[in-house]
Amino acid sequence: MRIRIYNARILTMEPDREIFLGEIQVEDGSIVYVGGEKSEAGDWDREIDAKKNLLLPGFKNAHTHSAMTFLRSYADDLPLQEWLYNRVFPMEAKLTPDDVYWCAMLANLEYLSSGITANFDMYMKNESNARASVDTGFRTVLCGSINDFGGTVEEIEQEYLHFNKYHPLISYQLGFHAEYTTKREILEDMAALGKKYQAPVYTHNSETANEVEGCVERYGKTPTAFLDSLGMFDYGGGGFHCVHMTDEDLEICKEKGIWVVTNPSSNVKLASGIAPIQKMLSKGIGLAIGTDGPASNNCLDMFREMFLVTSLQKVSLMDASAVDALEVLHMATVGGAGAMGLQDCDVLAEGKKADIIMLDLNQPNMQPLNNIAKNVVYSGSKQNVKMTMIDGKILYEDGVFDVGIPPEEIYAKANESIERMKRE
């Protein structure tokens, strides 16, 4: 498929490159040209007049649990531990592979309508999840989620080898649920697995104060320091949430190249706290943004996350200059790609994957055009997502999905799943 998008404002997210008017050419899933408009004719399958709307790299949802759409608004207004153990875990025990397939499909539709072109998904029944992404044309990085309640390190290794050869849209990173749900023997084996493949390891980390206190009681160290003492991050990795971090923790993140994926909506909704993003930025720690799952957010919306990343820092520090909007936009695009191992999807440049979104600037919330990039963070919304392209294929355009399955069928199947589970 050869597509030319012209008459566009383009924000490549490359360092020190300003927005410019030009065109992008796409062929066989990759970007083959980014620059000023060309006048010569070409044999295009489609030419799109962007009408001076904005093209930029798709957002990367760097932490989520997609199939938890089945629990959206089912377990609200509860503290984290009660929410997890009394509401979430009992319902998850009833999930079938088909449930995960259809509920992940539902999440993929929501990602597309939010300008999200890739997700970092930590959940169960990964074969169903991977199939849902391939069938919709969505890009997914799967993350291991072993804990004391299910899975083995041997299975994680098998998944790592299997899904990294599964399909061009699918990849896999080593991971486990969290220190507080995983016994030491498993954690030691996970650290050894990371060393065996010289691979990064990812986990929920320091999400709540109770989690940190519990780890200190067990091991005399914070989760970050304890896991690092096992050699868990010898080849890097990432922590999801990282709300309650000590100065020592942050130094470990910087030294070991541990990505921090912040999830502000979930942390606010579950009253977990506010991550010290400004301090992390000042230390040069790699940062990305995730929505977390739709049971704890409940909206898979990167615009809301971006606004909260900056605004929560401003109010918590009482400093309106904290965390510039341009830093946040970098986290949502380039940072997410780095955290997920998607270095070929980070910016708009020749040779990169054609994971591109178009934002409609011709709406009241984006006018006037004083600072387009900051408008995206401070006033942008899902209503501005005009087009979402993944791997050179337009999957969402002007409110219409092109994912091979009618959205109404996906909605019906997801509702059937949750109704069955509530009856059981």
In degrees and rounded to multiples of 5, residue 220 shows phi and psi of 75, 10
Residue 296 has a pLDDT of 87
d(CA 283, CA 42): 48
β-strand pairing of 400-401 with 393-397: antiparallel
Nearest-angstrom CA–CA distance, 359 and 121? 25
What are the structure tokens assigned to 352, written together?
């990169």
pLDDT-derived band at 76, boundaries 50, 70, 90: confident
Report H helices in 318-405.
Answer: 325-330, 336-340, 372-378
Task: Specify the pLDDT at position 85.
Answer: 86
What's residue 20's pLDDT?
A: 98
284 and 355 housed in the same domain: no
Q: Are residues 201 and 333 in the same domain?
A: yes
Rounded to whole angstroms, how far apart are CA atoms 15 and 146? 37
What the block records as the tokens of 46 is 């489609």
Instruction: Indicate the pairing of strand 287-289 with strand 139-143.
Output: unpaired
Evaluate whether residue 190 is within a structural domain: yes
**300 plus 379 within the same structural domain:** no
Q: What's the mean per-residue pLDDT of the chain?
A: 96
Residue pLDDT, tens place only, 97-122: 999 999 999 999 999 999 999 999 99
Which of 295, 312, 343 terminates a domain? The answer is 343
Interval 155-200: pLDDT, tens: 999 999 999 999 999 999 999 999 999 999 999 999 999 999 999 9
Domain that holds residue 367: 2-57+345-401
Q: Are 109 and 69 in contact (CB under 8 A)?
A: no
Together in a domain, 133 and 192 = yes
Residues 304 and 250 in one domain: yes
Tens of pLDDT, residue by residue over 260-273, are: 999 999 999 999 99
Residue with tokens 């940190």: 212
- Asked whether residue 416 is assigned to any structural domain, the reply reads no
Domain contains 412: no
d(CA 309, CA 331): 10
Q: Which amino acid is at 152?
A: T
Is 59 within 8 Å of 117 (Cβ atoms)? yes
3-class SS of residue 64: strand
Closest to 68 measured CA to CA, from 115, 125, 117, 152: 125
| Distance linking the first and last C-alpha atoms of the chain | 47
**pLDDT for 350:** 98
CATH classification of the domain holding 263: 3.20.20.140
238, 258 contact by CB (below 8 A): yes
Q: For residue 355, what pLDDT is reported?
A: 98
Residues 387 and 375 in one domain: yes
List, in order, residues 6 or more apart from 368 with CB less than 8 Å away: none
Q: Considering the domain boundaries, does residue 14 fall inside one?
A: yes
Please tell me whether residues 287 and 158 are part of one structural domain.
yes
Minimum mean pLDDT among 70-84, 192-206, 207-221: which range?
A: 70-84
pLDDT higher than 80, residue 42: no
pLDDT at 82: 85
CB contact at 8 A, 203 and 179: yes
Identify the pLDDT of residue 62.
Answer: 98
423 assigned to some structural domain:
no
- The stretch 4-12 carries a mean pLDDT of 97
My answer on whether 27 and 155 are in the same domain is no
Pairing label, strands 356-359, 54-57: antiparallel
Domain of 25, CATH number, reads 2.30.40.10
pLDDT at 374 exceeding the cut of 80: yes
Output 31-37 pairs: Cβ under 8 A, ≥24 positions apart.
Answer: 31/348, 31/349, 31/350, 31/351, 31/352, 31/353, 31/354, 31/356, 32/350, 33/350, 34/10, 34/348, 34/349, 34/350, 37/6, 37/7
pLDDT at residue 378, as a whole number: 98
213 CB-near residues (< 8 Å, 6+ apart): none
**Single-letter code of the amino acid located at 223:** P
Q: Assess whether 381 and 315 both reside in one domain.
A: no
Cα–Cα distance for residue pair 366/372, rounded to 1 Å: 8
Asked whether residue 415 is domain-assigned, the answer is no
Can you tell me the distance from the alpha carbon of 285 to that of 252, in angstroms, rounded to the nearest whole number? 10
Give the tens place of pLDDT for each residue, 294-315: 988 999 999 999 999 999 999 9
- Distance, in Å, from the CA atom of 241 to the CA atom of 287, rounded to the nearest integer, reads 11
pLDDT at 10 over 80: yes
Alpha carbon dihedral 270, 272, 273, 278, in 10-degree steps, equals -100
Looking at the whole model, is its pTM more than 0.75? Answer: yes
CA distances from 389 to 7, 115, 392, 422 (A): 17, 9, 6, 36
Please state whether the peptide bond connecting residue 368 to the residue before it is cis, i.e. omega within 30 degrees of 0: yes
Q: Is the peptide bond before 126 cis (omega within 30 degrees of 0)?
A: no
If DSSP codes are grouped into helix, strand and coil, which group holds residue 116? strand
* Residue 418 maps to a domain: no
Residue 334 has pLDDT above 80, yes or no: yes
Query: Does 255 lie in the same domain as 222?
Result: yes
Domain final residue, candidates 296, 321, 343:
343
Tokens of 266: 């979930």
Is the pLDDT at 141 greater than 90? The verdict is yes
The number of folded domains in the chain is 2
Report the candidate in 167, 164, 136 with the shortest Cα–Cα distance to residue 390.
Answer: 136
Tell me which residue has tokens 């408009």. Answer: 37
Q: Are residues 211 and 296 in the same domain?
A: yes
Instruction: Scan for tokens 């820092």, then name that residue.
Output: 313
Among 318, 343, 368, the domain boundary falls at 343
Do 336 and 362 fall within a single domain? no
Is residue 267 domain-resident? Answer: yes
Strand partners, 357: 56, 388
Q: Give percent of the chain with pLDDT exceeding 70.
A: 99
